[in-house]
A and B are shown apart, each in its own frame.
Chain A
Amino acid sequence: MIPVLQPASPSMRRTLPGGFPMRVILGCLLVAWIVAPMVPVLLWSVAGQWRAPTVLPSSYSLQGFADLATADTARAAVSSLSLGLGVAVIATPLGYLGALAVRALPAIPSRFVEFVLLVPLAIPPFALVMGVNIALLRLYVSPTLGVTLVLVVTALPYTAFMFRSALASYDHRFEEVARSLGASPGQATRHVRYPLLASAAARAFFLAFLVGWGDYISTLLIGGGQLRTLPLLLGSAASTTGNEQLTTALSVAIIIPPLILLAGLTLPAARKRRQ
């Protein structure tokens, strides 16, 4: 996800107007902009008591995190995890196939596939859910499967985009070389194409996982309260005031797993490029 940059050239380094103090101020402002919303979340998650006029909590405790250790939260975590994985497992290969179709089909059908792949971006998720809900109920689709299917539609533009940009810079001659060295089409695909597309697949998988892991409104409307994921617990906790410790501890618990995944995806690649 983090694009690896070429080292800035000397003149680009002097491109920010203003001298050294201006650059320091700008840097601090940008860091403050990024970090500011998360500061109260982190402080509240470990606060014991934090009454209004004080800037910092007057006592600290891990009660918020301790309160998370319930069977309800564990069930919600399992639901969130399986929803994220389910969406990713279906949407990643579909995105790959979509990107391949856009590339391989003749102009007019290719345009049509491209259009279909982009339509979910233009339809607000809540409208999609309201439209499809009746069909899902008529077909007796279980809430979990229904939410997964709808979120696959939401995730498809992202996975297809990842594969499209990867295929745009993909060199087909590698496969041709493998074929001329005697590999069967299947072998060429397995040993040449899939390894070359692996990082794009990992990024697509990650984005699709995020769609399922963090979704609120589709799960609420289709799940109808039967499918309780972590964001749903958070949404009902955040809409009432007074239990900030639990809400923020839950927020931290939702953010940490994707961040670890993100670090796992980007750090090895960045290290390899730096060597």
Chain B
Amino acid sequence: MPFFGPPQFSADAWAGDADELVRSSAISLYIAAVSTLLSLVVGFVLAAYVLAMPRTGRIVETLSAATIPIPHVIGAGAIGLLLSDSGFLERLLGMPDAFPALVSGPWFVAVIAEYAWKESAFVALVVLGSISRSVGDLCDAAATLGAFAGQRIIRVVLPLAVPSLAVSAAIVFVYTLGSYEAAWLLGPTTPEPLPVRAVRLFTSVDLAARPQAMVTALVSVAVSVAVISTAILVLRRHRSLR
């Protein structure tokens, strides 16, 4: 679109830097996938612990619920202070020489840690809300039939939690895919995830970057819609998951 005169259609913004778009999408998908996986695992362990330990579980549950109102921009700042170069963790470990670059490093470790930290509490909350009523009796029954503790976790608690895990996985994945703050504060400058790239181009002084910003935003929407539709299809197909 020119600065003045009639607007014209063109596919330049799509074709011009298709490589960059693909790379940004791949990075965003990588961050979302690893964060979702981690938060599901930690969230399930949190929920199982809360259900199994009546007293200490209550403390863990309250602490974990208290992290939910913390905005992501604060979570990102906190993870930055914890994991950065000469941050709290490195000081605790006695400043080892081989401390890896977690913040702004190539693998987005700090970004993923922030999402996993915030979203595991969310996953635990959803799982607890959906299974805490029924799980006790079923575990009793399984124990009567001779199931060991480990078997009860794998064969009773996990299958009961799968529907809520599946729903929260879809929500966490789409949320981390479109979230800006942590990727911006804790990620390296290149390669950029989709949200960081879109916002940088959108707020650029160069108005000619606008079409590219819009293309990046559209690609993010397309990826999110594809993920949500797949999730709905999978949930429909396996009615037992609902």
Contact residues in A for B13 (Cβ distance below 8 Å):
none
Which of B78, B91, B135, B140 lies at the interface centre, i.e. has the most chain A CB atoms within 10 A of its CB?
Answer: B78
Interface size class of B (residues with CB under 8 A): 35 or more
Contact A40 B88 (CB under 8 A): yes
Contact residues in B for A52 (Cβ distance below 8 Å):
86, 91, 95
Q: How far is the CB of A257 from chain B (nearest CB, A)?
A: 9
Tell me, yes or no, whether B190 is within 8 Å of chain A by CB: no
Q: What 1/0 mask marks residues of chain B from 88 to 100 whose CB sits below 8 Å from any chain A CB?
A: 1001100100000
Contact residues in B for A40 (Cβ distance below 8 Å):
78, 81-82, 87-88
Contact A37 B199 (CB under 8 A): no
CB closest residue in chain A, given B50? A5
Contact B77 A251 (CB under 8 A): yes
Q: How far is the CB of B28 from chain A (nearest CB, A)?
A: 10
Q: How far is the CB of A273 from chain B (nearest CB, A)?
A: 13
- Give CA–CA (A14, B82) in the complex, Å: 35
- Give CA–CA (A38, B88) in the complex, Å: 11
Given the known A-B contacts A3-B128, A39-B88, A255-B74, are A12 and B51 also in contact in the complex, defined by CB atoms under 8 Å?
A: yes
Contact residues in A for B72 (Cβ distance below 8 Å):
214, 216
Contact A216 B88 (CB under 8 A): no
A-B contacts, CB under 8 A, total: 227
Partner of A123, one of B67, B79, B135, B224: B224
Contacting B at CB under 8 A, from A204-245, are 210, 213-217, 221, 231, 234-235, 238-239, 244
Contact A221 B202 (CB under 8 A): yes
Contact A210 B139 (CB under 8 A): no
Identify which of B3-11, B18-26, B145-153, B234-242 touches chain A.
B145-153
Contact A30 B133 (CB under 8 A): no
Tell me, yes or no, whether B177 is within 8 Å of chain A by CB: yes
- Give CA–CA (A54, B120) in the complex, Å: 31
Contact A10 B64 (CB under 8 A): no
Tell me, yes or no, whether A16 is within 8 Å of chain B by CB: yes
Identify the A interface with B (CB < 8 A). Answer: 1-3, 5-18, 23, 26-27, 30-31, 33-41, 43-44, 52-55, 121-127, 130-131, 210, 213-217, 221, 231, 234-235, 238-239, 244, 247-248, 251, 254-255, 258-259, 261-262, 266
The 9 closest A-B CB pairs, nearest first, are A124-B178, A214-B71, A9-B136, A11-B143, A258-B69, A127-B217, A40-B88, A40-B81, A37-B78
